[in-house]
Structure 1
Amino acid sequence: MLDSKKIIILAVSLSVIMSGCALETKQEAAQRLQSKTGAGGNGENANNSQSAAGKLTSVQFYVPSEKENKLSVIDVVSSKVVGSIPLSETPSTVVFSTTMREAFAANQMSSSVSFINTQTLKVEKEVPVGPMPHGMVLSPDNKMLYVATVADQFVYLVDTKEGKEAGTIDLGQGARTNYLVLFGEKLYVSDHENHKVYVVNVKTKQVMMTIPTGKIPRAIKLSDDGKKLYVPSAGDHALEVYNTADGKLLSKISVAEGATDVAVTEDGLTAIVTSMEGSAVSFVDLASGKTIKTLTGLAGARHISFNRQQTKAYVTLSGSDEVIVIDTAKQEVVERIKVGAQPHGIQLKALPGIGGSC
């Protein structure tokens, strides 16, 4: 763990201004972003760009770039990079508070979590955690951040109000934590080295159940009702589906090599699986348990996030320094967005009720 000064967080109360990208056309977005497509410019244009990118009601994707130690802000309407936030070493994933006023980024080689003000696009503090923080999940009340650290057996708890570590959850000797998902009082943690998922009671901090999985489970997800656990198994080139009540395997579906992340549609009928080593994205029919289409040639396809209506899926390509936009109805790539070097995670920033058509 890094030695670092502990900084007390400043509590700032702001009112939410309600407007949205649903009211903004492509032409209006282009006019707003004219000569302001990123934070790399000079003088007034660059400052104005950052200011526009920090608008609370803007619907955006945040994308950490490992090799450039920064986070790119993508405007959803225009598909342009409109802002950039310097981070510490090798940022991997990012999560938002429910108000979208604050984001948290995991910095692997700095063993820290950055607290980001999404209006100023600045890091307000950096909290040390365990070695190589990776996946993160935030409690619904925004008070507790759970951080998986690839290099040890603990999940680290970060008190977001106090801005400091608030304890750990010990998963046992030899455990390795990777990705997390939270449902009620149950925290699901993937262990990529020991090929299992731990189910932890966050109140007691005790492991309730251990689910054996295929080889190298990665970015796990849950169904909306919490009854199914989706596990991309990189070593078995598969998407596995488990019953969360008893941990039993329901189905195992072949996908491209190196399954990495998964997004499931709201109706529970379709899953989209990224495969980093296979440089592919697979569309899976969950009812039949079959892959129905695979998009190939997508260098290092890593993480995935839907837009609000699930009409588009955004995927980071760590091998080509891009985010691709997939039309989910046509099941094809329709746009490519250049971002920082070796993009890792991707997360949507959108207030409830804002940007319904984006």
Structure 2
Amino acid sequence: MRQRKRVIAIGVALVLILSGCAMETKEQARQRLSAGGDNKTGVAGAAAPQGEAGKLTAVQFYVPSEKENKLSVIDVPTGKVVGSVQLSEAPATVVFSSTMREAYAANMNSSTISFINTQTLKVEKEVPVGPMPHGIVLSPDNKTLYVAAVADQFVYLVDTKAGKEAGTIDLGAGAKTNYMALFGDKLYISDHENHKVYVVNVKTKEKVLTIETGKTPRAVKVSDDGKKLFVPTAGDGNLETYNTEDGKLLSKIPVGAGATDVVIAEDGQSGIVTSMEGNSVTFVDLAGGKPVQTIQDLPGARHIAYNRLQSKAYVTLSGSDEVAVIDTLTRQTGERIKVGTMPHGIQLKALPGIGGSC
């Protein structure tokens, strides 16, 4: 038995080496293992994927396009659009289950969440939620989808197994939810109209902290150790960093007009910030608290995602209907991939241990 396990382990290692792709990050592994390992959302012996674009092991980016009501599937190794999924009205963001067998898309104008089968590239269910769903995050156990609805004060909870709404979290009269980040039992929700970030305990569903931010906070992110909250503030053109324990401001780095989204390097020392109204991205030195380099001529630079090795960053350009590929070592833009009209969010689909360096 021991010899058989050794042979299997060597075989897996060879597959990973031949794929030319990186292993999962420490944080991704931690979240997966704390949720009980590879969960049961996938079905053993499931039917084979329908077509090349639906291969479970394919390394891809999913990009929703607001104006065409569809989702583009981009093959990472070739940089080509290899498939699409028709969605409801004005899809904004998308997330994957940890097995990558399911994806969930928020459709703003139809006020629904699309449940997508990533092997068949078909929508299997539409779940009504609150008005104008926008930011979405999925619990590590894949059971609960948290949905921010821009037009009201609630975060909506969707039971992914039952396929229906399963309650709300009330953030108070006048609150406007936008983007979210989840770390442990803390959910961070940006309020772009009231210039705040709310911190909610997902176990008690109660607000435990309100952080006053700069003008128009957008896509918030949490550091891998959970100690820092990164907040791009569009109205001020800054990247703000807060202590998650007490909500105190730690730093403020000028980036560009309409600061929108941020990715943080695994070592926590640097990051890249998109600026939608500034049509640019800015590399920042987090340790030194300063901007390093700005890349211009990126029309409507909106959302951003790293590949697994963080050697490339993919940016949706809502102004030119493209995804720009940026080499993070040379800090230069490379190819631009044509996608649907007004691309919004972007999310990497790659199984643990597969993908990202291609």
C-alpha spacing 1:340/1:65, structure 2 compared with 1 (3 Å):
same
CA distance in 2, matches of 1:326, 1:252: 24
Q: What are the equivalent positions in structure 2 for 1:259-278 lying under 5 Å apart?
A: 259-278=259-278
Q: Does 1:23 align with 2:32?
A: no
Q: Which whole-Å deviations, capped at 9, do the CAs of 1:306-353 have from their partners, x for residues lacking one?
A: 000000000000000000000000011011100000000000000001
Q: 1:288, CA displacement in angstroms?
A: 1.2
Q: Does the 8 Å contact 2:16/2:353 carry over to 1?
A: no
Give the secondary structure class of the aligned counterpart of 1:23: helix
Q: Does the 8 Å contact 2:149/2:178 carry over to 1?
A: yes
Instruction: Please list every run of at least 4 consecutive aligned residues from structure 1 whose deviation after the TM superposition is greater than 4 angstroms.
Output: 18-22
Runs (5+) with no aligned partner, structure 1: 1-17, 26-48
Q: Does the 8 Å contact 1:50/1:82 carry over to 2?
A: no
CA distance in 2, matches of 1:165, 1:313: 34
Q: What are the equivalent positions in structure 2 for 1:31-180 lying under 5 Å apart?
A: 51-180=51-180
**Normalised TM-score (structure 1):** 0.87
Counting aligned pairs with the same residue, the percent is 75
Q: Does the 8 Å contact 1:261/1:273 carry over to 2?
A: yes
- Which amino acid is 1:23 matched to? L
- Which amino acid is 1:190 matched to? S
Q: What are the equivalent positions in structure 2 for 1:281-300 lying under 5 Å apart?
A: 281-300=281-300
CA distance in 2, matches of 1:285, 1:71: 33
CA distance in 2, matches of 1:90, 1:184: 30
CA distance in 2, matches of 1:140, 1:146: 12
What is aligned with 1:344? 344
- Which amino acid is 2:69 matched to? N
- Which amino acid is 1:317 matched to? L
What is aligned with 1:11? none
Q: 1:357, CA displacement in angstroms?
A: 3.0
What is aligned with 2:235? 235
Q: 1:204, CA displacement in angstroms?
A: 1.0
C-alpha spacing 1:20/1:177, structure 2 compared with 1 (3 Å):
farther
Give the secondary structure class of the aligned counterpart of 2:52: helix
Q: Does 1:316 align with 2:348?
A: no
CA distance in 2, matches of 1:149, 1:341: 22
Q: What are the equivalent positions in structure 2 for 1:315-334 lying under 5 Å apart?
A: 315-334=315-334
Q: 1:21, CA displacement in angstroms?
A: 8.1
CA distance in 2, matches of 1:215, 1:257: 11
Q: Does the 8 Å contact 2:76/2:356 carry over to 1?
A: no
Q: Which whole-Å deviations, capped at 9, do the CAs of 1:157-180 have from their partners, x for residues lacking one?
A: 000000000000000000000001
How big is the alpha-carbon RMSD for the aligned residues of Structure 1 and Structure 2? 1.7
Aligned residues: 320
CA distance in 1, matches of 2:135, 2:306: 18
CA distance in 2, matches of 1:330, 1:188: 33
CA distance in 1, matches of 2:162, 2:151: 25
CA distance in 1, matches of 2:356, 2:306: 12
